[in-house]
Amino acid sequence: MSTMRSIAASLAAVALTSAAAAGGAGAQDTPAGVQPYRFTVAGHLTQMQYDRGGDASRAALGGYGVRVMFNRSDPAKTLRSLFDRASVGAFANFSTSQNNVESTQHFGVQGDVALLNAPTARGLLDPFVSLGIGALRENLERGDADFNVALTPAIGTRIPLFSGIGFRGDVRLPVVFGEDTRVHPSIEGGVYLSF
């Protein structure tokens, strides 16, 4: 529980620091009032339904992660092509030992594509689809580690607040290819900062 409080406190600190930085960034906005961001850094909490394999039940694993994306998009444009709405980058998720499951690390690269030309619902929602590929490392009880390829489709939305700061939520479906194929559905949510 103290780990989750520490993570929440860290995310709150990032949000406050981001808010302070946003005040100075407002003066650099384009004439249209929108800054053409190129990089996005996001911290998030994650809740995974871990498939233990065989007849074993799923285990709920809480964790945290980070995502760094390069955005080709220029939000100041009135119309953005599909290529203009794409972002690519890297991610890493971590969970500690809990619910009789040893720690896990999930990392790789991913691409996001915004579904719409511009945020909808009066600028409150910016839905996207995502596809990632990487590896899931599972630390086993006997001290060994198991690395397996993971393909991760996802859908989610960004909720822009102001000056490149907002919230991001994802529903992800990591499909892990090992001795057998396992699916670990997960939900992620956190704060992003674009600059």
pLDDT score for 116: 85
Residues 109-136: tens digit of each pLDDT: 999 998 887 778 877 888 999 999 999 9
pLDDT score for 21: 39
* Alpha-carbon gap, residue 29 to 36, rounded angstroms: 8
Residues 26-55: tens digit of each pLDDT: 333 333 444 567 899 999 999 999 987 776
Residues 51-88: tens digit of each pLDDT: 877 767 788 999 999 999 998 655 445 566 777 788 99
Instruction: Judge contact between 25 and 35, C-beta under 8 A.
Output: yes
DSSP state string for the chain: -HHHHHHHHHHHHHHHHHHHHHHHHGGG--TTS-----EEEEEEEEEEEE--STTPPPEEEEEEEEEEEEE---TTSSS--TTTTEEEEEEEEEE-SBTTB--EEEEEEEEEEESSSS-BTTTTBEEEEEEEEEEEEEE-TTS-EEEEEEEEEEEEEEEEEETTEEEEEEEE--EEESSSEEE--EEEEEEEEE-
pLDDT score for 188: 97
Instruction: Report percent pLDDT > 90 for the chain.
Output: 46
Domain span at residue 27 reads 2-194
pLDDT score for 2: 52
Instruction: Judge contact between 99 and 114, C-beta under 8 A.
Output: no
pTM recorded for the entire structure: 0.75
Domain count, the chain: 1
CATH code where residue 183 lies: 2.40.160.20
Instruction: Report percent pLDDT > 70 for the chain.
Output: 74
Tell me the average pLDDT across 187-193: 96
Residues 139-171: tens digit of each pLDDT: 876 677 888 999 999 999 999 888 789 999 999
pLDDT score for 133: 98
The Cβ of residue 121 has, within 10 Å, a number of other Cβ atoms equal to 10
